[in-house]
Structure 1
Amino acid sequence: MTVRTIGIIGGGQLGRMLAMAAARLNFRTIILEPQADCPAAQVASGQIVASYDDPKALAELANACDVVTYEFENVPVSAAETLTKSVPVYPPAKALEAAQDRLVEKRFINGCGIPTARFHSVDSQAELEAALKDFGGQGVLKTCRMGYDGKGQKVFRSEADSPAGAYEALGSVPLILESFIPFEREISIIAARATDGTVACFDPAENVHRNGILHTSTVPASISEATAKAARAAAETILSSLGYVGVIGIEFFVLADGSLIANEMAPRVHNSGHWTEAACVISQFEQHIRAVSGLPLGNADRHSDCVMQNLIGDDILDLPDWLKRRDTLVHLYGKTESRPGRKMGHVTTLTAKPQVSA
């Protein structure tokens, strides 16, 4: 199959960076996104302005493209399945199914032999109270679907935190209560799988969150090679189990003994992989485009150490200072309005990678 045009469902900053990477490899891109003049459409070949599950829009996208991908995991599974009848869709629809529901995701990851936090399904206030009792009054309550960047969550740190009304406060929708993990740090790994089954992993990044939103990703992470190897192995297992094509981001908690507890996966390019555009020859965005278009995967080695920092809300006011730095790559997302919690761009500061003596 010869790929000339790639469809991208979703028009945010991830779609924007995918479209930019695609253009470098001489591909056209068509964005399906209900918001006109979205960040991705500013750099893409065209945009279909419609909802993600609009039948006519999906037919138009399939007719215009040789392959379709997506920039976020809440694309309706039905839309992906409809498109699959006419055009290849990568990552596959079952990856969406596994990632869209936290309960399904946890069970899938456990089924791959990878440990997660303990969890309880919560479908009523009574079930919440019983689950909290089992976890000693502690845990993180999350909506099973749609929550991200700290949204749709409530934390119970001790029995003093009353659960009264919590089920209703989160919408009386299916919830999951996850136990606390005594972790030392959080890491993530960005991995890619090609159509021929080849897998390439970028180095794990160490992540720091503020208010539930990623603040920085630092590479290399302060972990042992054994821990890094375990993260790569877990990624390969998940990719193989899903028959995956494209880039995936998987987050882990690192325990004191260096062992890993999987937190969540995202079947797409990932915020914690933005550093790759500055510290690697092949970024996660180009890697994804290579994978879904049938091209060979690129070299995932990094040439520099780095720290990536998100510019969130009024952080954008510091832009003049960042632009003066000779060691920093600045990437803005084409958003004109700054709001609290809104990702406006990111910066990646490079340092020399230590040389290993012979």
Structure 2
Amino acid sequence: MDGGVRERRRSARHRGDHRGRGRRRASSWDGRGAHGAARARRAGAERRASRARFTPLDRADAGRGSRRHARHRQAGCDQRGTSRRVDPRQLASRSACAAARLPHRADAEGPSGTAPVTKVIAPGAALGVLGSGQLGRMFAIAARRMGYRVHTFSPDADTPTGQVADVEVVAEYEDLDALRAFARQVDVVTFEFENVPIDAIDAIEAITPVRPCGVALHTAQQRAREKQFLADRGFPTAPFGRAASLDELWDAVARIGTPSVIKTAAFGYDGKGQHKVTTPADVEHIWTAIGHQEAVVEKFIGLQTEISMIGVRGIDGEMEHYQPFENRHRDHILDVTTTPAAITPALAARAAEITRHVLEELQYVGVLCVEFFVDTEGELLVNELAPRPHNSGHLTFDAAVTSQFEQQVRAICALPLGSTMLLTPAAAMANLLGELWEDGEPNWAAASRFSDVKLHLYGKTEPRRGRKMGHMTAMGRTTDEALDRVISARDALLI
């Protein structure tokens, strides 16, 4: 094995818009009511996929945080796209992930004639994390607090996750021998970012469980596959098309119309790989700018706001979700998050229902974030999926009974899920980006005078513009109160 292995037990240290816009026709799956029917097509609306009608898991007005179990239902599709590309992994998604639910090590047998009982991975076991950023760091902190050991695998050394993990393996994701050796040392593997090569997941899954499974990762790590997955199952999205050539890109823009947004199918986050199309004359230039790679074209959507819903599903189908988070971006990067989101109870219930359906369709195990647009007509549109804990949920570390990171530990270890209740009526989170360091070290003493604001730094040693270096969390009686506290504390860093 070429990868380096570092064993460590040390505490963390610190050194020194697109918003797809436009109008859409309602899908025939309509989560705004328990038994919503399709609305009549609007005049002039973009032609969308025929939608499968889902039997709802629960009524749309179900309360926040209710525990749910998966129920079987039919799902059909008749989706049009710029070109139809059906990936065999997606066709097998339900059965593949269902099979992946069972640990590779022997489970205890259930009563005669029943399915095996999934083995609980108890404290003291080793949990593997692919990736080594701040999400892995907070996962490791939660896991070690619960008595687990944590091994992290990534190409980099002295990482945010590695600084708090028990073992840090430094190797490339293409090093299958290193991955197999890593897998043999842990009881289950998860990931903290979605751009892990699928071959790496396959190599590990042959040895030890990966949760969520590789099929879920494969679906969510590429926009074109993700959009097709959502459309085929009737989830509401902005009108979109897929393109793998310049001719297909022209065709997609012609059908979707302008303004629209061209997004690279792979490796896009925080606004990377996104280009607005104002006129058809922009298309060829954008095709060159994205390196002639597969892309998704989306209608530009006028927004009221953006929200995210973080859900978690256990191995046995138990589900929980946090109340919605409202997100504000600056230069395409999340700036602040507040909860509860300033949306109607009906819209919050619909977002929760969609999230439960996504979790079930993927036979998902772990934490997943569904990002939503709320358009100018109050319609809810799925923007994208994040198959992991999410930046908007960082405030749960301080403000919820069970953080999203502890939920990830519980889910992948086959433990019962925790409560998603907030400890306070409202909370707010503000990201700390690298530009705060441009004029020298931030004024930590001034910010610390806000004694009720929590500071989290990720141990990154090289601040740069747009890089997430940490975050702050504040709680309050209202979202405005919490937001004012956290923004004031962040502003004090520059005094």
Of 330, 337, 342, the residue aligned with 2:462 is: 337
Larger Rg: 2
Taking the aligned partners of 1:177 and 1:294, their CA distance within structure 2 comes to: 39
Structure 1 stretch 284-293 or stretch 73-82: which is displaced more?
Answer: 73-82
Which structure 1 segments of 5+ residues have no match? none
Question: SS at the partner of 1:184?
Answer: strand
Counterpart residue number, 1:141: 262
Give the AA of the match of 2:160: P
Greater length-normalized contact order (CA 8 Å, ≥ 6 residues apart)? 2
Identity of aligned residues (%): 43
Pairing 1:77-96 to 2, within 5 Å after superposition: 77-96=198-217
Query: Separation in 1 of the partners of 2:435 and 2:388?
Result: 27
CA distance in 1, matches of 2:387, 2:325: 17
Map 1:50-89; keep pairs closer than 5 Å.
50-89=171-210
Deviation (angstroms), 1:154: 0.8
Match of 2:39 in 1: none
Structure with a larger share of its residues in strand: 1
Question: Which of 303, 322, 327 is the matching residue for 2:447?
Answer: 322
Q: Distance in 1 between matches of 2:352 and 2:250?
A: 37
After TM superposition, list the pairs within 5 Å mapping 1:1-358 onto structure 2. Answer: 1=119, 2-3=121-122, 4-156=125-277, 158-159=278-279, 162-304=282-424, 305-315=426-436, 317=442, 319-352=444-477
The secondary structure found in structure 1 opposite 2:356 is helix
Letter paired with 2:143? A
One-letter amino acid of the structure 2 residue matched with residue 150 of structure 1: G
Shift of 1:109: 1.3
Q: CA deviation at 1:120?
A: 1.3
Q: CA RMSD in A?
A: 1.6
- Judge conservation of contact 2:253–2:280 (CA < 8 Å) in 1: no
Aligned to 2:7: none
Q: CA deviation at 1:337?
A: 1.2
Runs (4+) off by over 3 Å: 318-321
- Taking structure 2 as the reference length, the TM-score comes to 0.69
Any conservation in 1 of the 2:132–2:159 contact (CA below 8 Å)? yes
Aligned length: 353
- Return closer, same or farther for 1:319/1:111 CA change in 2, 3 Å cut-off: farther
1:161 Cα offset (Å):
6.4
Deviations 1:81-131 (A, max 9, x none): 221111110001111111111111011112332111111112223332332
Deviation of 1:314 after TM superposition, in Å, equals 2.2
Give the secondary-structure state (helix, strand or coil) at the position aligned to 1:7.
Answer: strand
Q: Return closer, same or farther for 1:321/1:139 CA change in 2, 3 Å cut-off.
A: farther
* 1:125–1:166 contact (8 Å) kept in structure 2: no
Q: Is the Cα contact below 8 Å between 1:132 and 1:138 reproduced in 2?
A: no
CA distance in 2, matches of 1:321, 1:105: 44
SS of residue in 2 equivalent to 1:30: strand
Deviation by residue 1:293-326 (Cα, 9 ceiling, x = unmatched): 1111100011221111110112352544332212
- Secondary structure (helix, strand or coil) at the match of 1:133 reads helix
Contact 1:303 1:353 in 2 (8 A): no
Q: How far apart in 2 are the matches of 1:266 and 1:300?
A: 19
Worse-superposed segment, 74-83 or 130-139 = 130-139
Report the Cα distance in structure 2 between the residues aligned to 1:198 and 1:353, rounded to whole angstroms. 30
Q: How far, CA to CA, are the matches of 1:10 and 1:161 in structure 2?
A: 40
Give 2:60's aligned residue: none
Q: Distance in 2 between matches of 1:290 and 1:73?
A: 20
1:120–1:176 Cα contact (<8 Å) kept: yes
Compare 278-287 and 103-112 and name the one that shifted more: 103-112
Corresponding residue SS for 1:334: coil
Q: CA deviation at 1:257?
A: 4.3
In structure 2, C-alpha distance between the alignment counterparts of 1:149 and 1:235, rounded to whole Å: 22
Distance between the aligned counterparts of 1:206 and 1:268, measured in 2?
Answer: 18
- Scaled by the length of structure 1, what TM-score is found? 0.95
Deviations 1:168-211 (A, max 9, x none): 11111101111111221000011100111100001110001111
- 2: distance between equivalents of 1:82 and 1:302? 39
